[in-house]
Amino acid sequence: MTISAWWRDAVIYQIYPRSWADADGDGVGDLPGITARLPHLAALGVDAVWLSPFYTSPQHDAGYDVADYRDVDPLFGTLDDFDAMTATAHDFGLRVVVDIVPNHSSDEHAWFRAALASPPGSPERARYLFRDGRGAAGDEPPNNWQSMFGGPAWTRVTEADGSPGQWYLHLFDTTQPDFDWTNDEVRDELEDVLRFWLDRGVDGFRIDVAHGLVKAEGLPDGDLDHDANADATALTPMWDQPGVHDIYRRWRKLADSYAAEGQDADRILCAEAWVLPAEALARYVREDELHQSFNFEYLMTPWLADDQRATITRSLAHAEAVGAPQTWVLSNHDVVRHATRLGYRQQPGLQRIEGIGPDDPQPDTALGLRRARAATAVMLALPGSAYLFQGEELGLPEATRLPGEVRQDPTFARTGGASKGRDGCRVPVPWEDGVPSFGFGPADAAWLPQPAEYGELAVDRQIGRPDSTLMLYTELLALRKELRLGRGTLTWLDGYPADVLAFLVTSSEGSVTVLANLGDVALALSDGADVLASSLSRHDSTFIATDETVWLRR
Ligand code: GLC
């Protein structure tokens, strides 16, 4: 680790390539589109981008089903386009983090095709988790595991001679067979993939399903009522097995071997691990393991002062205990956007993050946006690193009224529509009001329909408008950088009502008092309070309104 270690306080912006910017007009975003729009991020003031997968893929799970880990899918461009994008990002001072999907491949990956063409017990099958079925005829799945997208986690194959054959494990879609990480060939291959992208100059990886690679020996039945996303406190046979940590120790050594000494050039590894409690999650970021791990407990914490205080305190303590910065996040491509989540009544305990359909109760959009701005103003003051999801800087709400026929997330089909899936947060970004596809691309094409209200939230409608969400993000990011808040330490302040989050963040460059009013009554500001920023963009007042966060010069 170099002294400055850029990632410890970096703000990293997630680009979902399908939906950010479309250069060729086919309705799906692409790498040349990203390159052309990078000035937006330079102006916003983030430090890095993280790109969701753009690799060769049949797109059954929007690219999280990788058929070739070393190439770009023609949908998104070419390897040359990738190099051009990376070079442009670096010219803007933006680091580039890419996704790595090591838990499973696509069923169109050459290895899986070879496995299907080879007999049970062959080395080709040993790269995945093939097992004989249960029951006399082997026609029951090998265990009771369920796919995260609904239905059984096992699919039966037909052997070369036409007979019903073995089953293979897929924690996600049928088209996403899980690798067997006890096999050294798998380990070596994925490490080689890391090297491939490191050699191309990437600054790090976001590790998909980082807590799922190693399964309990013997693949025992699990507790079916256990919902890993909502409560991962109990050890389940497919999640958070101790063996995953050995993999990440090796990966850390590999990443460190690329870090150029003295140049603040660490290559970083960030886990997508839905692991609770914070203490268990912190094991992923021990000194010889990963750099970061998304704090999903924070993402799921309701907008209630007691819950917020408890989560923030606990998260900071556990990360600090292992010497890691905390990694804050409020939105991503798998959850309902926070501007919409917060538009519902808040209840103690972890919040629901599942998709919303036209027949579900609809959020209060104005309330959701107001609270989202306040929540972001809390997050961007917290010590550590923060991830933003494309469009949140515009205050985009979830598309909550997508009809079933346009939905593409496999979750929707696999649950017969019972779970709406994640399309609502993946709708293409509006850049310009009043033009086809709101400027997402040159044509009137978008792979998911954009709600009409996205027009007034388009980037061009917000630039330079002081009360816009885009300007709020820009202002908070600049202050955060100037005051080095990400490197600061947090102290809770006494003497405020219980419904107010009140804390001081102090760094080498100064300090800021953050007051977030989650109560029903306005809070008077003391005379002479110097308001640096407000989530409501009214800098001259004497009080803090409900669902407003202010930053005060101390
Ligand atoms: C992760 C990704 C999600 C994907 C799943 C399977 O949770 O974030 O989008 O569907 O892994 O790869």
Domain boundaries, the chain: 6-103+184-471, 110-169, 488-553
| Domain 6-103+184-471 bears CATH identifier 3.20.20.80 | yes
The listed CATH number (3.30.365.10, 3.30.43.10, 3.10.129.10, 2.60.40.1180) that belongs to domain 488-553: 2.60.40.1180
* pLDDT digit string, tens, across residues 68-117: 999 999 999 999 999 999 999 999 999 999 999 999 999 999 999 999 99
**Nearest CA residue ID for atom 7, ligand 1:** 209
Can you list the positions of beta strands (E) in 101-135? 130-131
Query: Interior CA angle at 142 toward 141 and 148, to 5°?
Result: 70
* Ligand 1 contact via 294 beta carbon (within 6 Å): no
* Ligand 1 contact via 99 beta carbon (within 6 Å): no
| Residues with active-site annotation | 208, 272
* Ligand 1 contact via 334 beta carbon (within 6 Å): yes
User: Which atom of ligand 1 has the smallest separation from the CA of 172?
Assistant: 6
What is the β-pairing status of strands 510-517 and 500-507?
Answer: antiparallel
| Domain 110-169 bears CATH identifier 3.90.400.10 | yes
* pLDDT digit string, tens, across residues 116-171: 999 999 999 999 999 999 999 999 999 999 999 999 999 999 998 999 999 999 99
37 C-alpha to ligand 1 centroid (Å): 25
The total of other beta-carbon atoms located within 10 Å of residue 366's CB is 9
* Ligand 1 contact via 344 beta carbon (within 6 Å): no
* Ligand 1 contact via 172 beta carbon (within 6 Å): yes
Amino acid at 2: T
* pLDDT digit string, tens, across residues 288-323: 999 999 999 999 999 999 999 999 999 999 999 999
**Nearest CA residue ID for atom 9, ligand 1:** 334
Q: Indicate whether 3 pLDDT > 70.
A: no
66 C-alpha to ligand 1 centroid (Å): 12
Q: How many Cα atoms within 13 Å fall on the side-chain side of residue 495? A: 6
Q: How many Cα atoms within 13 Å fall on the side-chain side of residue 12? A: 33
- Residue 497 has what pLDDT? 98
User: Which atom of ligand 1 has the smallest separation from the CA of 65?
Assistant: 12
What is the pTM (predicted TM-score) of this model? 0.97
327 C-alpha to ligand 1 centroid (Å): 18
* pLDDT digit string, tens, across residues 8-48: 999 999 999 999 999 999 999 999 999 999 999 999 999 99
The continuous run of DSSP H or E covering 69 comes out as strand 68-72
Q: Mean pLDDT, to the nearest integer, of 198-213?
A: 98
* pLDDT digit string, tens, across residues 481-502: 999 999 999 999 999 999 999 9
Confidence grade of residue 245 (pLDDT, cut at 50, 70, 90): very high
CA 45 – CA 534 distance, rounded (Å): 18
Among 22-31, 167-176, 540-549, where is mean pLDDT lowest?
540-549
Percentage of the chain surpassing pLDDT 90?
A: 93
